[in-house]
Amino acid sequence: MTAHADERVKTMSGLRRAMIRPELGAICGAILVFSFFFLIARDSGMFAAQGIMNWTVVSAQFAIIAVGACLLMIAGEFDLSVGSMIGFAGIVIAILSVQWGLPVWFAILCAFLVALAIGALNGWLVIRTGLPSFIVTLAFLYILRGLTIWLAILTTRQTIIGGVAERAQGDWLASLFGGKILTGLFTWLAEHGVIAVFGRGTRAGQPVVDGIPMVVVWALILIVFAHVLLTRTRFGNWIFAAGGDAQAARYVGVPVDRVKILMFMFTAFCATVFATCQVMEFGSAAADRGLLKEFEAIICVVIGGALLTGGYGSVIGAALGALIFGVVQQGLFFAQAESSLFRVFLGSILIMAVIMNTWIRRTITGER
């Protein structure tokens, strides 16, 4: 007896499945961006060891906040307070460690706890009031930015608090955010002529790249964790379900409210990782740090293929979006182009990404 395909099940060719992958646009964009800057900036040092490290670090910074924004957007929500959270968490660390004299590790843990509590509050307000997350987190964008400036001026009469680097010397937790790894490997590579060394100055003979900054390590950890969570666990299915059709998800037992609150908390966690890495890198905290980062994170996610309506997206796509950002920002510098063109690029690629994502959504749903 010949088995017939169930006519209720829509079959899809391999090419069609590849075409609707959320990462497709980001992959194409990354190839185009790398090709473009290789042609116009390859002689400027952009693809030498130091140049590669420059745009890798910038891309990692974008990726850290994009990962949190990605999972939250797939769950059907937005968080516009990410940028303000970065500045707020940094000031908390600086005040507790420099002004109050507490250990840096304790200040970092306090910053994470406060950020997670604010993230939970954001999620709780969205769930309990039924207000759009855009409105709730927009309010917290202003609340946190105002609190950050007020706390800095109240304690130091200035908006930049220095002295964190001195306090962080020898601190076990600070080194996880501000140090470097594989320094011995890079020294060995320099000794064998694989990477260049400084020819003059106080660093003469030392490798131009002496290790991988912890911000890159954190970006890789968060990308791997979020990708596995989203694609290999039941909780990942819950995230997709909560953003795709929250009411239908509730009918089949998905704890939608809990999922969304946890995603707000994860977004706040990622913002605090970013803030801590910046504080340890610069040795100071500034009240204006993180400005507009919430929009850059959302653009990374959209470039990576996530739908603004939720229920569809990819962590790998968001990471590729962050890579595109980093390469373009540094590529314009190496090409000696006007830096303001970066904003032009952001707006242009956002429009193109939304158009492509809309086409993908209509392809999936069969809409016209």
Encode pLDDT of 313-330 as tens digits: 999 999 999 999 899 888
Q: For residues 118 and 140, is the Cβ–Cβ distance under 8 A?
A: yes
Residue 368 lies in a domain: no
Phi, psi (deg, nearest 5) at residue 288: -95, 10
Residue 214 lies in a domain: yes
Residue 364 lies in a domain: no
Q: Give the pLDDT score at 232.
A: 95
Q: How many helices (H) and strands (E) does the chain have?
A: 16, 4
Regarding predicted confidence, which is higher, 103 or 26?
A: 103
Q: How far apart are CA 208 and CA 210, in angstroms?
A: 6
Calculate the alpha carbon distances from 74 to 55, 67, 167, 335 in Å.
Answer: 27, 11, 39, 36
pLDDT in tens, 93-140: 999 999 999 999 999 999 999 999 999 999 999 999 999 999 999 999
Q: How far apart are CA 330 and CA 168, in angstroms?
A: 29
Percent of the chain at pLDDT > 90 equals: 60
Q: How far apart are CA 194 and CA 123, in angstroms?
A: 49
Residue 367 lies in a domain: no
The arithmetic mean of pLDDT across residues 291-296, rounded, is: 90
pLDDT score of 334 more than 80: yes
Q: How far apart are CA 123 and CA 128, in angstroms?
A: 9
Q: Give the pLDDT score at 120.
A: 98
Q: For residues 65 and 270, is the Cβ–Cβ distance under 8 A?
A: yes
Residue 4 lies in a domain: no
Return the SS3 of 49: helix
Q: Any residues with CB less than 8 A from the CB of 77 and at least 6 apart, and which?
A: 123, 126, 133, 243, 260, 263, 264, 310
Name the domain count of the chain: 1
Q: Give the pLDDT score at 14.
A: 56
- In single-letter form, the type of residue at position 244 comes to G
Calculate the alpha carbon distances from 277 to 104, 284, 346 in Å.
Answer: 13, 11, 24
pTM for the structure as a whole: 0.91
Phi-psi region at 211: left, alpha or beta (left = phi > 0; alpha = psi -120 to 50)? left
Confidence of residue 352 (pLDDT cuts 50, 70, 90): confident
pLDDT in tens, 39-98: 888 788 888 888 999 999 999 999 999 999 999 999 999 999 999 999 999 999 999 999
Phi, psi (deg, nearest 5) at residue 285: -125, 140
CATH code, domain carrying 65: 1.10.3470
Residue 65 lies in a domain: yes
Q: Any residues with CB less than 8 A from the CB of 19 and at least 6 apart, and which?
A: 363
Residue 116 lies in a domain: yes
Q: Could you tell me which residues are beta bridge partners of residue 212?
A: 181
Q: How far apart are CA 270 and CA 226, in angstroms?
A: 11
Residue 59 lies in a domain: yes
Q: What is the DSSP letter of 10?
A: P
| Rg, C-alpha atoms of the chain | 22
- In single-letter form, the type of residue at position 296 comes to E
Regarding predicted confidence, which is higher, 201 or 152?
A: 152
Q: How far apart are CA 358 and CA 151, in angstroms?
A: 43
The arithmetic mean of pLDDT across residues 297-323, rounded, is: 90
Which strand (E) or helix (H) includes residue 161? strand 160-161
From the list 65, 112, 325, the residue with the least C-alpha distance to 219 is 65
Provide the CB-side half-sphere exposure for 297 (13 A, CA). Answer: 30
How far the first Cα of the chain sits from its last, in Å, is: 39
Query: What is the b/e burial string over 258-281, where b = at least 16 CB atoms within 10 angstroms of the residue's CB?
Result: ebbbbbbbbbbbbbbbbbbbbbbb
Q: And the tokens for 347?
A: 């707006």
Q: How far apart are CA 347 and CA 344, in angstroms?
A: 5
Q: Which domain holds residue 97?
A: 43-196+208-358
